[in-house]
Amino acid sequence: MQTTVFRKWMILAVCCCMPAVSLQAARVIEPIQTVSEPLGLDPGIVALGDRLFHDLRLSRNNTVSCAHCHRLNAGGDDDMPVSIGIEGKAGDVNAPTVFNLNLNIAFFWDGRASTLEELVGMPLKDDREMDTDWPEVLSKLGKDRKMVADFERLFPGKGMTKETIARSIADFMRSLVTLDSPMDRWLNGEKDALTHEQLRGYRLFKSYGCVACHQGEAVGGNMYAGMGAFQDYFRDRKRPLTIADNGRFNVTGDERDRHVFKVPGLRRH
C-alpha cells in the first residue's frame, strides 16, 4: 500500500529557482516505521475486523457500514463537507481518514475517544450515523453461524461480545498503515523519489510554517490546534456556529479549548 503526503493542491510550484531541500532539513516529517507485526496484531482478528468494518448489519436498517464514510480506496474518508449517515442524515463534520490512526493522539476531531475501541461504539449509537445499539448488533450478528464460530475461535472463552467486536474493528484500523510512499522513500535516502516540483512544494510547505502543526510520521494527528491559523475561520465562513464548532471545549469544558481541534494528518492512500 502506498500513500502520498501531499494532495494535488499542496504540490506547489514557483517560477523562481529555489534551492534543493536537504534531507537533514526535512526531518520534521518522519517516514512511517510502524508495521502490523510490532503492533502485535493477530491476522485472524484483523481479517474479522475487516469483515465487520464493511458489514451493513452494524446499522439499524442494514444500510450503513464503517466503510460508508471511510472508503479505503478513496483516502480513508468520503470526501464530503459533512458525512451522510443512515437515511441520508447529515452529520456536523466531515469524516477523517482511517489510515495511520495508530499514530494519532486521540480520535474524532475533538479527541473525545481516547482509544480505537471506544471510537467504534460511538457511531453505532449516533442517530445520524448508524442509529443502533450493542444489543441489536449482537442479536443480528449472533444469527451468523460462521461469524459466531470465528469469534469463539479467535477469542477463546469470550466469543462474540461488544468488547470483542470493538477490538476486532479497532485492530483492523490499526493495521491500516501506509508504507513506502515516495515521501518515505525520499526521507529514507532515495534522492529521486520526489520530483523537483514536489521538493519545491515541500520547501514552501515548511517556509510557510505548515510543519509547525503538520509534522511527525502522520504529518499531523499528534497535537491539537485552534481552527484558523492565519485568519478567523468561523467569522470568514459566514455561517452560524454549531455545537460541533466548539471542538475540544465540548470534551474538556475549558474555555481555552474552544474552537480547538485535532490537527489532521495529511497522509492518504
Residues annotated as part of the active site: 129
CB environment 19-47: b (16+ within 10 A), e (fewer):
eebeeeebeebebbeeebeeeebeeebbb
Grid cell digits, residue 134: 450493542
- CA 158 – CA 63 distance, rounded (Å): 28
- CA angle, 216 then 112 then 39, to 5°: 50
Place of cell 453505532: 124
Reference 60, options 129, 121, 150; nearest CA is: 129
CB 64 within 8 A of CB 44: no
CB environment 183-201: b (16+ within 10 A), e (fewer):
bbbbbeeeeebbeeebbbb
Neighbours of 64 (CB within 10 A): 22
Distance of CA 236 to the CA centre of its chain: 27
Reference 14, options 187, 196, 183; nearest CA is: 196
CB 41 within 8 A of CB 175: yes
